Amino acid sequence: MPALLVRQPSPRLVEGELTHLPRVDVDADLARAQWDDYVDVFRARGWDVTPLSAADENPDGVFVEDTVVFFDGLAVITRPGALSRRDEITTARRAVAASRIPFAEIDEPGTLEGGDVLKVGRTAYVGRSSRTNDAGIAQLRALLAPRGWDVVAVPVTKVLHLKTAVTALADGTVIGYEPLVDDVSAFPTFLPIPEPEGSAVVVLDDRAVLISASAPRTVALLRERGWQVVETPVTEFEKLEGCVTCLSVRIRT
């Protein structure tokens, strides 16, 4: 059974970090309702959903993907590039320790956020962004190389995280809104999609993905190509540079 970590949104969500977008009003009640609907998608498909402890003092705590990245048999506790987010790793570390999955941690001076890590087969593409630095990428490479993983650094300057710009379908095709992708040639197979909100998908199974309801043209494109697409609204999180990938992290043992 697939397993997932999530964390409910803080009532202080509107205070979250912003890098590329202007600050606008965020409806905390609507955000909670959208988060509930998001989690229900996974539960309805039989996923084992584990909520982390609430972190109401951390406005960005709902974006749990950034705190830990799971590979086969190893969890990597990150070190967020945003100082305001460093406390979030405490509960992520506790959850990983409770699962008894071996884990390692990114140390100073390295920074790494999970939103910058895109796994395609045995390759981890890592965004060199405002949140993830060269030292963090080097530490991740040292951890993964003995396990047979390739780590490929790619530039990210136009969006917050690599996975804001691109994600991958189950067949390995990388999709993204091309004007926001720094280097399309970094990926062996790239499919341009027609709107930025469609860049992020969560793979639900070999033929199904979860995507923002704000991307109807991308939904139509993927369905035309034979994919089953589940839509869910995440407008309040998109206002804070979030997306469907940011709100959860899949546990891989």
Which positions are annotated as active-site residues? Answer: 161, 246
Asked whether the beta carbons of 175 and 201 are under 8 A apart, the reply is: yes
Tokens 């993907």 belong to 65
Which residues pair with residue 123 across a beta bridge? 120, 150
HSE-CB for 211 with a 13 A CA cutoff: 31
Residue 251 to residues 6, 37, 40, 107: CA-CA distances in angstroms? 11, 20, 17, 22
DSSP notation for 156-170: --SSSSHHHHEEE-T
Nearest to 4 by CA among 72, 64, 85: 64
Cβ-based neighbour number of residue 39 at 10 Å: 19
CA distance linking residue 110 with residue 119, whole number of Å:
20
